[in-house]
Amino acid sequence: MPQFKEVSTQSGLHPKPAGLVLQYGTAGFRTNAKQLDHIMFRMGLLATLRSKKTKATIGVMVTASHNPEEDNGVKLVDPMGEMVTPTWEGYATQLANAEQEDLLAALQDIIEKEAIHMSQEANVFVGKDTRSSSASLSQAVLDGVSALGGHSKDYGLVTTPQLHYMVCCQNTQCKYGEATVEGYYKKLCQAFIQLTKNASNCTDDQKHLTVDGANGIGALKVREMESQLKKELHISLFNDGSEGKLNHQCGADFVKVQQKPPTGIKMNPGERCCSFDGDADRIIYYYTDSEGKFHLLDGDKIATLISTYLKELLTQAGLDLEIAVVQTAYANGSSTNYLENTMKVIVRCTKTGVKHLHHAAQEFDIGVYFEANGHGTVLFSKAAEEKIQQLAENSNINDERKRAALLLQNTVNVINQTVGDAISDMLLIEAILAIKGMTIQQWDAIYSDLPNRQLKVKVSDRRVIDTTDAERRAVSPAGLQEAIDSLVKNYREARSFVRPSGTEDVVRVYAEAETQESADALARDVSLAVYRLAGGVGGEPKPLH
């Protein structure tokens, strides 16, 4: 095949270290940047094949999200801005691990399996984050695309959600929006400004938000967008990348795990603060109270705020649309209880991992999904969007219904439905708080989290643990679930589950109960059961206190 001649020549410039094996996981490929040059070239090849197969534009994002600065990674974006399909994740792994001399055979294998017409035109959008390694690695992707005769558009520095957005815009013939960074700011900011017109007399204090940009791409993009917010939101930006290290003691992951504010940020008691992660696809909120105590509002709290707001608007608009919140087993029991029993919202539980949540959210008219780590968004079905649109344009309805319909319409436009997006989620949360005239303390008080604890148990082989019921029950090894059930009975308002890690030989244990002591004790009891029944290695789990 003549087009392989160029692949052969170019791949010599991006050689694979012999014996190196990497796996395409939920987050694509992610490892030390020095090991990724050949991977990037080959993902350029794969994206070109995927584009020919789908007859659509495909995205390639160079980022390692919340990982340390010396790492990098890459993930592919499918035509509607969603993650690439599992079959193609398999091809990515296969292509990445083919030794230098087997690369052409591996390509040929994918072309034959997928019956790809190589004469079909291919288009690939490429974006990168602010890591020092991203420039040369994204160039390797572009080399891969051109080696197979594909067309590429290099967006340069963008957040991961922005690239997902561009791909979706391009493949909907710009019905979703304009496939430029300016188009993205314009759509989101205009919707935000329309929403905040419904906020009665907001003071400048209430419009103020402190943002931790994780010293990453999100900080740059907030700076670019600021002027378009027309002073409806006053942002104080910290960790903006001018001096600190990416994700080092800052960012959403650090704040969530350490349960404390990031370094390099000035916080006054009661002030709203939020943190993005390194590629701006996660967000979490927090504040300190008058006693200096730190309060975290994670993905569960965000999903609750958004779904409550949407449910109220649907009622006011008189729209009969089914709204659901999709959670994982890690969602705090208090949030599930509040949503089901107080708000009467459907709650669906899925396996851990964004793609499972996204998929489940698509089954409803409106699906709100957030992982506890702050990654999430809202999906509206085509039918739901049409009903909202029709109502907003209907001149024969009363003022209350009209107002609610217009709010819903602008809410749809402020949301990036392709993927979790810190900037879009921030604007949505800020608009909701303004419209409802709510402080962060009032939002936090909607429900109180049950104390919880997460532990890890080292095992010789994590595959001995098999789960069911969205990872909430263990089916093997024998006797483990019975042991967990009887341990849970010893504590009030308690629950616990175990699941194998996706990346290392450890079993993750989650426990929650009425008090922190109980949650800690239950987590340790369950860890001990896992250690004894599932082949624990090293010393027995010790008491936490």
292 and 305 both lie in a single domain: no
Position 172 in a domain? no
Mean local confidence (pLDDT), 223-229:
94
Using 50, 70 and 90 to split pLDDT, how confident is the model at 355?
Answer: confident
The H-or-E segment that residue 296 falls in is strand 294-297
Both tokens assigned to 516: 């922190």
Does residue 401 have a known ligand-binding role?
A: no
11 and 147 both lie in a single domain: yes
Which tens digit of pLDDT belongs to each residue from 329-351? 999 999 999 999 999 999 999 99
Does residue 373 have a known ligand-binding role?
A: yes
Position 136 in a domain? yes
Instruction: Please state, in angstroms and as integers, the Cα–Cα distance from residue 289 to each residue in 176, 178, 210, 270, 350, following that order.
Output: 41, 42, 15, 5, 34
CA angle 68, 69, 73 (to 5 degrees): 85
Does residue 371 have a known ligand-binding role?
A: yes
Residues 82 and 26: their CA atoms lie apart, in Å, by 12
- Lowest pLDDT segment from 21-35, 304-318, 351-365, 468-482: 21-35
Residues 196 and 214: their CA atoms lie apart, in Å, by 27
Range of the domain at 30: 2-157
Q: What total of structural domains would you count in the chain?
A: 4
Q: What is the pLDDT at residue 206?
A: 84
Question: What percent of the chain has pLDDT above 70?
Answer: 99
Both tokens assigned to 199: 């906020």
- Relative orientation angle of helices 217-225 and 181-196, to the nearest 10 degrees: 60
Helix, strand, or coil here: 276? Answer: strand
Position 346 in a domain? yes
Q: For residue 198, is pLDDT > 90?
A: no
14 and 152 both lie in a single domain: yes
- Residue where a domain terminates, one of 297, 329, 361: 297
263 and 344 both lie in a single domain: no
Does residue 89 have a known ligand-binding role?
A: no
- What's the gap between Cα 521 and its chain centre? 31
Q: Which of 275, 307, 251, 290 is nearest to 447 (CA)?
A: 307
9 and 153 both lie in a single domain: yes
Check if the beta carbon of residue 13 is closer than 8 Å to that of residue 143. Answer: yes
Does residue 381 have a known ligand-binding role?
A: no
Position 44 in a domain? yes
- What are the residue ranges of helices labelled H in 381-461? 382-393, 399-414, 422-436, 440-444
- Residue where a domain terminates, one of 418, 444, 479: 418
377 and 489 both lie in a single domain: no
Position 168 in a domain? no
Which tens digit of pLDDT belongs to each residue from 41-77? 999 999 999 999 999 999 999 998 888 889 999 999 9
User: Is pTM beyond 0.85 here?
Assistant: yes
Phi, psi of 99 (to 5 degrees): -65, 160
198 and 330 both lie in a single domain: no
Does residue 119 have a known ligand-binding role?
A: no
Position 539 in a domain? no
Instruction: Please state, in angstroms and as integers, the Cα–Cα distance from residue 44 to each residue in 39, 122, 230, 247, 407, following that order.
Output: 9, 11, 39, 27, 41
Position 440 in a domain? no
* CATH number, residue 338: 3.40.120
- Cα-based torsion angle of the residue sequence 416, 420, 424, 425 in order, rounded to the nearest 10 degrees: 130
252 and 318 both lie in a single domain: no
**Between residues 229 and 542, the one the model is more confident about:** 229
Does residue 300 have a known ligand-binding role?
A: no
Q: For residue 2, is pLDDT > 70?
A: no
Check if the beta carbon of residue 480 is closer than 8 Å to that of residue 474. Answer: yes
* CATH number, residue 60: 3.40.120.10
Does residue 87 have a known ligand-binding role?
A: no
Q: What is the pLDDT at residue 353?
A: 85
CB atoms within 10 A of CB 512: 26
Strands 283-288 and 273-276: antiparallel
Contacts of 245 (CB under 8 A, 6+ apart): 69, 215
Does residue 511 have a known ligand-binding role?
A: no
Which tens digit of pLDDT belongs to each residue from 450-495? 999 999 999 998 889 999 999 999 999 999 999 999 999 999 999 9
Strands 452-458 and 506-512: antiparallel
Q: What is the pLDDT at residue 540?
A: 86
**Average of per-residue pLDDT values in the chain:** 94
What residues act catalytically?
65
242 and 136 both lie in a single domain: no
Does residue 277 have a known ligand-binding role?
A: yes
Helix, strand, or coil here: 209? Answer: strand
57 and 187 both lie in a single domain: no
Position 446 in a domain? no
41 and 149 both lie in a single domain: yes
292 and 312 both lie in a single domain: no
Does residue 11 have a known ligand-binding role?
A: no
